[in-house]
Amino acid sequence: MPPTRVQFSAAGMEHSDRASEETGERPASPALWWVNGKGGEVKWSFGELGILSRKAANVLTQPCGLARGDRVAVILPRVPEWWLVNVACMRTGLVFMPGTTQLTAKDILYRLRASKAKGLVASEEVAPAVESIVSECPDLKTKLLVSPRSRPGWLSFQELFQCASAEHSRVETGSREPAAIYFTSGTSGSPKMAQHSHSSLGIGYTLCGRYWLDLESSDTIWNMSDTGWIKAAIGSVFSPWLQGACVFVHQMAQFDTDTFLDTLTTYPITTLCCAPTVYRMLVQKDLKSHSAPPTPTPKKFLKLRHCLTGGEPLNAEVREQWKRQTGLDLHEGYGQTEVGIICANLKGQEIKPGSMGKGVLPYDVQIIDENGNILPTGQEGDIALALKHTRPFSFFSEYVDNPGKTAATIRGNFYVTGDRGVMDSDGYFWFVGRADDVIISSGYRIGPFEVESALIEHPAVVESAVVSSPDPIRGEVEFVEQLPKTITGKIKRNVLRDQEWGRT
């Protein structure tokens, strides 16, 4: 690995920091470049990130009293401290458990109790929700507030950080030791606690950073994912830093398309990663004046060259409009909290509109039947990953405290994703739907995504969701102002289905 790359775990990171400092080969661009649109700006080199994260590590272990293996819930918006606490947890062997600030008191209670978290790092906006439930969390021993103001009952990150030492001896964590717990989106039920190791995060995202995100140390990636989801680990921590690339963050109070487009014309962002919902909103605007360089328009994107999306299906119509208006392809990835990226449209590969691309390394992706047999190309079945002799190094370790659910993901020699799809004769995968969402009508199996993609072609339809309904004759489509979504922005088809079936 070239010396400009940052290696994880913390041991590799410190070694790499030092080696590249000595040879002067550190990337010119910062490790983290944060702006808030109100004049606030933070730029940290990899060396500064090293020093500051050692201070943060001392805050977590000394005044907070947390120790290797303890679970720490981190509920912060996109503030620079989120990145510090993330690296500090790696250095100290603490298990990082991110959560979005959109969590309600009930959600936080569920997460703290289910995980038996010992520590909590939160921002001011979630402090009242935490205070309303904290008496029901007997395992929680420390609450750390990231805010310029202090608050009774909380330790202050800012105060402790000021006087913390920058000397810290990292914990020598093992490759299979827990590094993080991610709660899944909860699209199909209660969120599950997918536990990742220092190997699955630390090494697992190398290939994704190099090949799907196409990052090099001269790149700057803007990944819009909320800090609470694994997509933030993929696009805002491990994949970029393993390539020595700069992570760009714009902390917007609220997403708005004008600010978004202005950011791309102001900062040298080369790589953009957003949920399909964001692209669906953007293509409603006139983007012609925002094309990629070298088009000489006054408002061109400064450096944008590679656009990515994932998390839910991308309709071919949206991809076409984005390409037509900006001149840029959208490279879709398909993945899961549990195993990272499974299929993707890699740079240089032909994109087949509507397909989520080919299986990516280190996985052998197959379509299988209910008995674990590989199906011929063109036939719909369960999307699965072949398990050879050992569990792939990039796999989650388990669903915490849920051996039944962990075991249910295995069928014969395969890990089953829970999604249905088809592989064509060129090896491209086509998403049909989650196994639970597939609609059975008059004996036919209908993938909701295919119908949704047809509906969205109509100019009056921004987005669509198709679910089954108990009336076999009724075939009408309902027009609504808004679709129910998870806090990640994914359409909750299970809520629509429950409405249709009178289960709400």
Ligand X SMILES: Nc1ncnc2c1ncn2[C@@H]1O[C@H](COP(=O)(O)OP(=O)(O)OP(=O)(O)O)[C@@H](O)[C@H]1O
Binding site for ligand X (CB under 6 A): 184-189, 191-192, 310-313, 332, 334-337, 356, 417-419, 431, 434, 490
Q: Which amino acid is at 253?
A: A
Could you give the 3-state DSSP secondary structure of residue 421?
strand
| Smallest separation, CB 107 to ligand X (Å) | 13
| Smallest separation, CB 503 to ligand X (Å) | 17
Answer yes or no: are the C-beta atoms of 214 and 240 closer than 8 Å.
Answer: no
| Smallest separation, CB 383 to ligand X (Å) | 8
Nearer to ligand X, 66 or 467 (CB): 467
Residue in the block written with tokens 């309600």: 104
Nearer to ligand X, 22 or 364 (CB): 364
Query: What distance in Å separates the CA atoms of residue 17 and residue 166, rounded to the nearest whole number?
Result: 15
Answer yes or no: are the C-beta atoms of 90 and 83 closer than 8 Å.
Answer: no
Nearer to ligand X, 69 or 186 (CB): 186
| Smallest separation, CB 231 to ligand X (Å) | 8
Nearer to ligand X, 191 or 209 (CB): 191
DSSP 50: H
Closest CA to 415 of 400, 396, 430: 396
| Smallest separation, CB 188 to ligand X (Å) | 3
Nearer to ligand X, 19 or 438 (CB): 438
One-character DSSP codes across 289-352: GGPPTTS--TT--SS--EEEEESSPPPHHHHHHHHHHHS--EEEEEEETTTEEEEE--TTSPP-
Q: Which amino acid is at 17?
A: D
| Smallest separation, CB 140 to ligand X (Å) | 24
> Pseudo-torsion of CA 209, 212, 215, 219, nearest 10°?
-120
| Smallest separation, CB 491 to ligand X (Å) | 10
Nearer to ligand X, 7 or 394 (CB): 394
Strands of the sheet with 193-197, listed across from one edge: 155-156, 142-146, 119-123, 71-75, 95-99, 178-183, 193-197, 398-399
| Smallest separation, CB 128 to ligand X (Å) | 26
Nearer to ligand X, 263 or 486 (CB): 486
Q: List the structure tokens of 267.
A: 């900062």
Query: What distance in Å separates the CA atoms of residue 339 and residue 208, rounded to the nearest whole number?
Result: 12
Answer yes or no: are the C-beta atoms of 77 and 251 closer than 8 Å.
Answer: yes
Nearer to ligand X, 187 or 243 (CB): 187
Closest CA to 183 of 5, 501, 417, 396: 396
